[in-house]
Amino acid sequence: MTVITPELLSRFDVPGPRYTSYPTADRFVETFSEADYIHALTHRQSGSVGKQPPLSLYVHIPFCESLCYYCACNKIITQHKAQATIYLRYLNQEVALHTRHLGRGQAVSQLHLGGGTPTFLSDAQLRQLMAMLREHFAFTPGGEYSVEVDPRTVDESRLAVLAELGFNRLSFGVQDFDPDVQKAVHRIQPADQVFQLVDAARRLGFESVNVDLIYGLPLQTPQSFERTLAQVKQLGPDRIALYAYAHLPERFKPQRRIHAHELPSVADKVAMLSRSLDALTDAGYVYIGMDHFALPDDSLAVAKRQGRLHRNFQGYSTQADSDLIALGVSSIGRVGSTYSQNAKTMAEYGDLLDQGHLPVVRGLSLSRDDLIRRSIIMALMCQGHLQYESINLAWLMEFKTLFAHELHQLEDMQSQGLVQLNDGGIQVTDMGWFFVRGVAMVFDRYVQKDRDRSRFSKII
């Protein structure tokens, strides 16, 4: 087991971004308008024919039938499926507006349905959604088409519908198998139910099955979480996402139902993470980085070996250079050197579409400095190392000169065993992976200037 000393924790277990983008979404500005987003879309469309990279699509389905107390997602708690019918109409309008600027038939190599709970939609509604997307976009053979699944909302017949619609990857939200923990977070789902669904998914031919886990939830202990890990190893999913629970009740109202005194200590959270790393690597999983594991033959592990790994708003991805079109309320996309976010409330989202506008309400056009720092941060987050020469050649600059101050800051981390610095580059150590967000933060110009980081979760 990797040992993290109290000194390291006190110095480096600080609030920081997860770096699903750089700059991070809290830096988006409302002066970025629909017109800026349209300019990015038309700039993509005006590129050389045949040289446009395939698109990624993200569709946010905000509905959930019940509230999970840990959740920090944009969601609407409802039992009424009719709300989804109205929402699909708005999604159709949003897609049609994109087609107006991109043209019909843009190639798509990656689709992710997130939420909320995408499987809140009925079979008929899922068919309607996919028919609408296929009418406007061309899905490439062999692409990654994934959907988040709440095990409480599906059975084998529903999984068969997802396979019929072209989904080849499933992500099951498990979080923890312990009944007491499930009760404490208001998400009760027996382990047998998940095992049966994963077996069904394999029979139906899904290429990859992912399981989401969370450590740091109320009533969890290192011992109880080890029992969950043992069950996950028996389950044998292709990928595992292991997230740290971020308790921010001042920002996320559902978390106010969690009793702070029931949360595990920082030391127990470290023990859970350390034991998870050891248990999953011993079980044959490749540690992709920060919060992802994959079996060696999974495309995510292959991408890491080949240096093609990337991070986007859904976490680690194999789609390194794809523009991401984000559809639905609150969703965040990336086109060219811009980020954009849709309206966060259904009322504003629908009102903008009713007026014939794309529902973009904020975003960011990245500067040259942003783009350079993004390439550095993503190299550290995805590969765990960075070569100065590759950055120098890509940006026609001298890394050691431009980032002399940052390299001086890293010397302290080197003395603590988190990174290794040499004449050619930066290498994150095995210990450093626990704090890789902190390593990346050294190159975050915005975070370095902003000492109030309470809006971020802690690194561990």
Provide the pairing of β-strand 208-215 with 169-175. parallel
Q: Is 71 annotated as a binding residue?
A: yes
**3-class SS at 138?**
strand
Residue ranges of the domains in the chain? 27-327, 367-453
Provide the pairing of β-strand 425-428 with 385-387. antiparallel
Q: Is 64 annotated as a binding residue?
A: yes
Q: Tell me which architecture the domain covering 367-453 has in CATH.
A: Orthogonal Bundle (1.10)
pLDDT in 10s for each residue of the chain, 460 residues: 456 777 787 788 788 888 989 999 999 999 999 999 999 999 888 765 456 778 999 999 999 999 999 998 889 999 888 899 999 999 999 999 999 999 999 999 999 999 999 999 999 999 999 999 999 999 999 899 999 999 999 999 999 999 999 999 999 999 999 999 999 999 999 999 999 999 999 999 999 999 999 999 999 999 999 999 999 999 999 999 998 898 889 888 999 999 999 999 988 988 898 889 889 999 999 988 778 899 999 989 998 888 888 888 878 888 766 899 999 999 999 999 999 999 999 999 999 999 999 999 999 999 999 999 999 999 999 888 999 999 999 999 999 999 999 999 999 999 999 999 999 999 999 888 888 999 999 999 999 887 666 667 777 7
Q: Is 148 annotated as a binding residue?
A: yes
- Tokens representing residue 448 in the block: 């370095």
Contacts of 447 (CB under 8 A, 6+ apart): 16, 17, 441, 453
- In angstroms, the CA 260 to CA 249 distance is 10
- In angstroms, the CA 440 to CA 206 distance is 35
Contact 398, 420 (CB under 8 A): no
Q: Is 316 annotated as a binding residue?
A: no
Q: Is 93 annotated as a binding residue?
A: no
Q: Is 68 annotated as a binding residue?
A: yes
Q: Is 58 annotated as a binding residue?
A: yes
Q: Is 245 annotated as a binding residue?
A: no
Q: What is the DSSP letter of 32?
A: S
Domain 27-327 matches domain 367-453 at the CATH topology level: no
Q: Is 19 annotated as a binding residue?
A: no
pLDDT tens readout for residues 61-85: 999 999 999 998 889 999 888 899 9
Contact 344, 62 (CB under 8 A): no
Contact 255, 70 (CB under 8 A): yes
Domain 27-327 sits in CATH at 3.80.30.20
Listed residue (121, 244, 114) closest to 176, CA to CA: 244
**3-class SS at 320?**
coil
- Tokens representing residue 116 in the block: 């909320």
Q: Is 332 annotated as a binding residue?
A: yes
Provide the pairing of β-strand 63-64 with 76-77. parallel
Q: Is 246 annotated as a binding residue?
A: yes
